[in-house]
Amino acid sequence: MDHADPKSETRKGNVYVPRDEEFSEVKNAQFLLKTLQSVLHAAVPAAQSALIDNLSLNLPFPSFFVIDKLFEDGVELPGVEKLGFLHSIVPRLLELLRDSPGDKILLFDTPANVQKDKFAWLRDEEFARETLAGINPYAIELVREFPLKSKLDPAVYGPAESAITADLLEEQMRRVMTVEEAISQKRLFMLDFHDLFLPYVHKIRSLDHTTMYGSRTIFFLTDDGTLRLLAIELTRPASPSQPQWRQVFTPSTDTTKSWLWRMAKAHVRAHDAGHHELITHWLRTHCAVEPYIIAANRQLSEMHPIYQLLHPHFRYTMRINALARSRLISAAGIIELSFSPQKYSMELSSVAYDKLWRFDMEALPADLVRRGMAEEDPTAEHGLKLAIEDYPFANDGLLIWDAIKTWVQAYVARFYPDADSVAGDEELQAFWTEVRTKGHGDKKDAPWWPKLDSPESLAHTLTTIVWVAAAHHAAVNFGQYDFGGYFPNRPSIARTVMPVEEPVDGAAMERFLDNPDQALRECFPSQVQATVVMAVLDVLSTHSTDEEYLGGEQTRPWNSDAAVQAAYAGFTARLKEIEGVIDGRNKDRKLKNRCGAGILPYQLMKPFSDAGVTGMGIPNSTSI
């Protein structure tokens, strides 16, 4: 604490977590080893640029060949004295590194998507497919009205109505239908990063070696169930010195427009990467689960049946969050170093929490309905009709959701036969009151909080908590290296403005026309940014050998109650069945969003996994 300013605070040392939240010896040893190996990987730019200083921290990759070399030939690691840039990120591990051999040949493992198709990142079809079967399947939404309009103040940010016109979309749809018809048939979808990012554009642009736009990306649902990428709109809001600038980019056979299209896609991918890491991943899983853990430990006895149900889903979360706060999301940490919002990352995440987070929308069915990706239909499987039938995350996720719900309902029914038994459980009610009033104090009076006043409301609330801690986190975490390890597919940051942004920089435009390949690489993350992110994604995508999976034997309920044991056995059996269903879907060539030449099968909702980077497996908890 700075006593001269009582409102300021300086954190020193590691973030404290209670002793019973610490990693096991096995987990801790593996985490340190994996992180140390990844620190070595992150040192790759030092081997290429000889000296790390402020200049080389921002060097782009000199060619795509050098990017490929990270996976194909390896590079020689220099002596530890050249790794000083890592000291602010991982000082303790750097000390460990000093005791290891000085020079090594290092290789990044080839990400799974590159193994399948090295050039998939260039294809519009893969860009669109990953919105349904990638690591951020929570961003895509249905277009429900047209023209598209911002909710931001036009006096501050410029015209509310999008520059994407009906005629432009109809031309890209090859005049098969009008925009009005496409909306009525639920054929138009979008990634909308416009209102979220636009207020931060000028703040972020004031930083060195980065840029930002608000963006909208539009897709058309084709007759074969895949999405076609139609248009990208990039917007820079007005400022005291410049008017608003925006432009719509579309696929083209014209070479200049084609390269501009690739650059526009790189910007949207960077927006998606920031949205994924800061909101879908950090905010909605790691951050949101912590109040449940604290309230449960404070208000429920260890013998309480609901504590016993929830406890496996809290394993290691506070420890991994403490590590994240120390090095990942901290000021000048890896996120601020390498992702688009940079120093505004946590502020943006907080704004998203204020505007977007609602407990009742965290249940998978409610989330799908909110985004227009499904509508309630009692006659349909899972009670939902999907807007896109081949939506791998939703299709597989709903299997997991229903399995969790069935197990939790059976468990709740065993201990809470009626509404009075729920309402009269003082520990349970104190737990839920603390979650609402302490864990989410600024939202405590919101009308959407469920009331724990019946077995049904209790079961739904607990199902949502388990879903978020286990399956939601697995869906957005364990594919990170598979999809982001080859960073041109998911650049974490876009560093240069579009060459056509007004006022046009004539020299930059000439360089773009002369060497568009280089212009794209300069837009991508620098060598240091890219390899640090690759290293972190490698760690985050790794299952420990002591991992405990959803429905696994390690977390079979402790009590010998026959009804509880039978329900859990049924839960485990159902999850094993689901693995077979998912395997079958991944071999069904009619499902083009998960099966086809060079397509990475969707396995993130497969419940069980071996240790390592496998791209599958649902741990009980947010444990990495």
Asked if residue 443 is part of any domain, the answer here is no
Do 260 and 123 sit in the same domain of this protein? Answer: yes
Q: Tell me, yes or no, whether 438 lies in a domain.
A: no
pLDDT per residue over 258-289, tens digit each? 999 999 999 999 999 999 999 999 999 999 99
Same domain, 122 and 99: no
Residue 193 forms part of a structural domain = yes
What's the confidence (pLDDT) of residue 254?
97
Q: 403, 571 in Cβ contact below 8 A?
A: yes
Q: Which of the two residues, 476 and 529, has the higher pLDDT score? A: 476
pTM > 0.85: yes
Is there a contact between 461 and 292 (Cβ–Cβ < 8 Å)? no
549: exposed, middle or buried (C-beta count within 10 Å: 0-12, 13-18, 19+)? buried
52, 77, 112 — which closes off a domain?
112
Helix spans in 276-333 (H): 288-299, 305-310, 317-323
- Bin 458: left if φ > 0, else alpha if -120 < ψ < 50, else beta: alpha
φ, ψ of residue 448 to 5 degrees: the values are -85, -5
| Phi, psi (deg, nearest 5) at residue 378 | -60, -20
Which region among 40-54, 241-255, 455-469 has the lowest average model confidence (pLDDT)? Answer: 40-54
Whether residue 106 has pLDDT greater than 60: no
Tokens matching residue 211? 């840029």
Measure the CA dihedral 492/498/499/504, to 10°. Answer: -140
Mean pLDDT computed over 370-399: 97
> Residues 243, 219: one domain?
yes
Is the separation of the CB atoms in 392 and 593 below 8 Å? Answer: yes
Q: CA-CA distance, 111 to 533, in Å (whole number)?
A: 13
DSSP state of 208: T
Q: What is the model's pLDDT at position 538?
A: 86
Packing angle, helices 516-523 and 506-514, rounded to 10: 110
Closest CA to 277 of 232, 226, 216, 336: 336
- Angle at which helix 562-585 crosses helix 392-415, to 10 degrees, equals 170
CA angle 311, 313, 317 (to 5 degrees): 100
Give tens-digit pLDDT for 300-342.
Answer: 999 999 999 999 999 999 999 988 888 788 887 788 888 989 9
pLDDT tier at 13, thresholds 50, 70, 90: low
* Bond into 147 cis (ω within 30): yes
pLDDT at 9 over 70: no
The strand pairing partners of 229, in sequence order, are 219
Domain boundary among the residues 112, 142, 174 is at 112
Q: According to the model, what pLDDT value does residue 331 have? A: 84
CA distance 531 to 337: 12
| Total domains, the chain | 2
pLDDT tier at 78, thresholds 50, 70, 90: very low
pLDDT above 60 (res 82): no
- pLDDT tens digits, 401-434: 999 999 999 999 999 999 999 999 999 999 999 9
Q: Confirm whether 484 is domain-assigned.
A: no
Residue 598, phi-psi category: left (phi > 0), alpha (psi -120 to 50), beta (remainder)? left
Considering only CA atoms, which of 93, 176, 190, 109 is closest in space to residue 144? 190
DSSP labels for 553-590? GGG--SS--HHHHHHHHHHHHHHHHHHHHHHHHTT-TT
Q: Which residue did the predictor score with more confidence, 497 or 33?
A: 497
**Which residue's structure tokens are 């590691």?**
14
CB of 136 closer than 8 Å to CB of 492: no
| Residue 391 main-chain phi, psi, to 5 deg | -120, 85
* Residue range 554-574, pLDDT digits in tens: 888 888 899 999 999 999 999
Q: Report how far apart, in Å, the C-alpha atoms of 493 and of each of 234, 275, 487, 521, 522 are.
A: 15, 11, 10, 12, 11
pLDDT of residue 522: 97
HEC string of 430-447 equals HHHHHHHHHHCHHHCCCC
By CB atoms closer than 10 A (0-12, 13-18, 19+), residue 214 is: buried
The CA-CA-CA angle for residues 488, 334, 61, to 5°, reads 35
Catalytic residue numbers read 281, 286, 473, 477, 624
Mean pLDDT for the stretch of residues 43-62: 56
Query: In terms of domains, do 53 and 200 share one?
Result: no
Rounded to an integer, the average pLDDT of 393-404 is: 98
615, 603 Cβ separation under 8 angstroms: yes
Single-letter code of the amino acid located at 356: L
Q: Which of 188, 187, 138, 186 is nearest to 361 (CA)?
A: 138
SS3 for 64-131 is HHHHHHHHHCCEECCCHHHCHHHCCCCHHHHHHHHCCCCCCEECCCCCHHHHHCCCHHHCHHHHHHHH
Q: Which of 41-55, 61-75, 377-391 has the lowest mean pLDDT?
A: 41-55
Q: Based on the domain organization, do 170 and 232 belong to the same domain? A: yes
Nearest to 404 by CA among 479, 323, 462: 462
According to the model, what pLDDT value does residue 233 have? Answer: 98
pLDDT for position 495:
97
Using one digit for the tens of pLDDT, what is the confidence trace for 484-523?
Answer: 999 999 999 999 999 999 999 999 999 999 999 999 999 9
Looking only at the bridges linking them, the beta strands covering 374-376 and 384-386 are antiparallel
Higher pLDDT, 327 or 124: 124
Based on the fold, state whether residues 97 and 123 are members of the same structural domain: no
Asked if residue 257 and residue 168 are part of one domain, the reply reads yes
Q: Do residue 153 and residue 206 come from a single domain? A: yes
Concatenate the DSSP letters of all residues of 380-447 into one string.
SGGGEEESSS--HHHHHHHHHHHHHHHHHHHHHHHH--SHHHHHT-HHHHHHHHHIIIIITGGGTT-T
- Residue 20 has a pLDDT of 78
Q: Is residue 412, in this structure, part of any structural domain at all?
A: no
Q: Which residues pair with 188 in a beta bridge?
A: 220
Residue 620 has pLDDT above 80, yes or no: yes
Same domain assignment for residues 97 and 167: no
In a domain, 496, yes or no: yes
Tell me, yes or no, whether 126 and 267 share the same domain. yes
**441 within a domain of the structure (yes/no):** no
CB neighbours of 552 closer than 8 A, spacing ≥ 6? 572, 608, 620
Enclosing domain of residue 500:
118-277+492-529
In a domain, 83, yes or no: yes
At residue 43 the predicted structure's pLDDT band, cuts being 50, 70 and 90, is very low
- The reply to whether 56 and 172 lie within a common domain is no
Is 70 exceeded by the pLDDT of residue 370?
A: yes
The DSSP H or E segment spanning 41 is helix 25-42
**pLDDT at 52 > cutoff 70:** no
Q: Say what the pLDDT of residue 39 is.
A: 53
End position of a domain, from candidates 93, 112, 131 = 112
pLDDT score, position 335: 87
Q: Which pLDDT score, from 0 to 100, does residue 393 have?
A: 98
124: CATH = 3.10.450.60
- Amino acid residing at 224: D
Model confidence pLDDT, tens digit, residues 170-225 = 999 999 999 999 999 999 999 999 999 999 999 999 999 999 999 999 999 999 99
pLDDT at position 88: 47
Return the amino acid letter for 255. T
* Alpha-carbon torsion, ordered 399, 400, 402, 406, to 10 deg: 130
Q: Specify whether 266 is located in the same domain as 222.
A: yes
Q: 434-466: buried (b, 16+ CB within 10 Å) or exposed (e) per residue? A: bbbeebbeebeeeeebbebebbebbbbbbbbbb
